[in-house]
Amino acid sequence: MKKRVLVTGASKGIGAAIATDLARDGYAVTAHYHSDQAGAQAALDAAGVDGQILQFDVSDRAQCAEVIARDIEENGPFYGVVANAGIREDGLFAGMEATDWDKVLRTNLDSFYNVVYPVLMPMIRSRKGGRIVTISSLAGIEGNAGQVNYSAAKAGLIGATKALAQEVAKRKITANVVAPGLIETAMTAAGDIPQQLLNEIPMARMGQPEEVAGVVNFLMSDKSSYVTREVIRVDGGV
């Protein structure tokens, strides 16, 4: 039986690449989306599989609990979860609206609890081990001017994942973080990135979503069974 994996934010960018890559490798991927159903379906279509798509708002705790619990009841526990969904509301902290702080923290950090919590106990009860991967950011490690809210949320993901890794290790469940640098997606098109930032990357280019997906695929695989509580940077050597 194929191992079930939930990928949040799978309708575009890094999340879509992760969903496609895992589905191609034989995982039974459930591609989550909030509003872009076609994008989530396209991620599975690109892998040439039927797959499953699931709609909910990762910032809505009650909705996450209800939708995920119903899916697990109907289809069985997830072996893995990739907590990827996130947003940005950039701006200098001195002028940041409270709503921009709250929106980013609720979507990017609270979603860790909202999504992973209802997945975890069924995963434990299955006694088959499991994989938890969270997608942080270089901003969560280094901090980034104009992204205090985003940096705080992504740093929080690192702390939460590291702590959870210690709690579940004896149950053969790993928990790791992938921290991308500048990745070429719709949100960070090459034309919008100052050349100065590109010059700071030793590889002198932006990364591709598929390069992040490859690391996630490794962490989901049996080959990573002794890797847990790690933060893996995918940043071209920054």
Query: How far apart (Å, rounded) are the C-alpha atoms in residues 149 and 103?
Result: 9
Per-residue three-class SS string for the chain: CCCEEEECCCCCHHHHHHHHHHHHCCCEEEEEECCCHHHHHHHHHCCCCCCEEEECCCCCHHHHHHHHHHHHHHHCCCCEEEECCCCCCCCCHHHCCHHHHHHHHHHHCHHHHHHHHHHHHHHHHHCCCEEEEEECCHHHHHCCCCCHHHHHHHHHHHHHHHHHHHHHHHHCEEEEEEEECCECCCCCCHHHCCHHHHHCCCCCCCECHHHHHHHHHHHHCHHHCCCCCCEEEECCCC
Please give the model's pTM, rounded to 2 decimal places: 0.96
Which residue type, as a one-letter code, is found at position 36?
A: D
Q: Which residues of 48-71 are buried (b: 16+ CB within 10 A; e: fewer)?
A: ebebbbbebbbbbbeebeebbeeb
Half-sphere exposure of 110 (CA within 13 A, CB side): 17
Let me know if 150 is a catalytic residue.
Answer: yes
pLDDT in tens, the chain (238 residues): 899 999 999 999 999 999 999 999 999 999 999 999 999 999 999 999 988 999 999 999 999 999 999 999 999 999 999 999 999 999 999 999 999 999 999 999 999 999 999 999 999 999 999 999 999 999 999 999 999 999 999 999 999 999 999 999 999 999 999 999 999 987 665 446 667 778 889 998 999 999 999 999 999 999 999 999 999 999 999 9
Sequence spans of domains, the chain = 4-234
Please tell me which residue in 27, 33, 79, 150 is annotated as part of the active site: 150
Domain 4-234: give its CATH superfamily.
NAD(P)-binding Rossmann-like Domain (3.40.50.720)
